[in-house]
Amino acid sequence: MKTLAILFLVVFLINIMPAFAPPTWMAMSWVGFNLHEGSTLLFALVAASAATLGRLALATFARSIVRGRWIREADRQNIDVVSAWLGTHKKKTAGAFLIYALSPFPSNYLFIAYGLSGLPLRFIGAAFFAGRTVSYVIWAHLGRFASSVVDPESLFDGKYLGLGFALSQLALLAFVYVLMKLDWRLLLEQHKLRWRRQIRQSEKNDASSAKP
């Protein structure tokens, strides 16, 4: 029981971090590598529950603090265009989160972006939990297999905080910023990709030229 509690706490803390957190699949590989007793399914369920709660807390933070206080009204209105589209495609959105949760890729930026939409979190939370449970079972089993063929000192050497990892996290956060600045109405209605600031500037120029 103590092991499960520690696993839950560690995974939750990893997933509540907006950036620069070690990947959870590494923690599950460590569990499989070092804990040969116990059910991998139970470990996966505990870890998936913690990961889901952590990511939902991160999305809630993005919705209540970032969207509510830190971004401008113009950016909020632009995001609302995406929110309306996602609201009419709930099954596709949940399916995308399910498929993504099966992968080892980081999901922090995904939940931050979704949290900015202001949409309910229960659908993506359930899909994410299901996908992460399956992937964590796989990683735990891989860890147990690796424990019999790999040198323990060479498997987890702490290199996840190298330059490549840091750059990838900065790139993902920059990607969230880009998503806020795209003109989503133009993209969804006319399938044209354009930077929203350029649109506003062109509209101002047109308005000034139209004045007598």
For residue 140, tell me if it sits in a domain.
yes
pTM value surpassing 0.75: no
Spatial distance between the Cα atoms of 65 and 62, rounded to a whole number of angstroms: 6
How many domains does the chain divide into?
A: 1
For residue 199, tell me if it sits in a domain.
no
pLDDT of 163 reads: 59
Helices (H), 62-195: 73-87, 90-101, 108-117, 122-146, 152-155, 163-181, 184-190
Spatial distance between the Cα atoms of 175 and 169, rounded to a whole number of angstroms: 10
Q: Which pLDDT tens digit goes with each residue over 58-83?
A: 988 888 766 656 566 666 666 666 66
pLDDT of 95 reads: 86
DSSP letter at 147 equals T
For residue 123, tell me if it sits in a domain.
yes
pLDDT at 203 over 50: no
Q: Which pLDDT tens digit goes with each residue over 21-44?
A: 777 877 787 777 777 777 889 999
For residue 197, tell me if it sits in a domain.
no
Q: Which pLDDT tens digit goes with each residue over 125-181?
A: 999 999 999 999 988 888 777 666 655 454 445 554 555 555 655 666 676 677 667
CA dihedral for 97, 103, 108, 110, sign (positive or negative): negative
For residue 207, tell me if it sits in a domain.
no
Domain that holds residue 132: 2-152
- The residue written with tokens 């929110």 in the block is 83
For residue 189, tell me if it sits in a domain.
no
For residue 184, tell me if it sits in a domain.
no
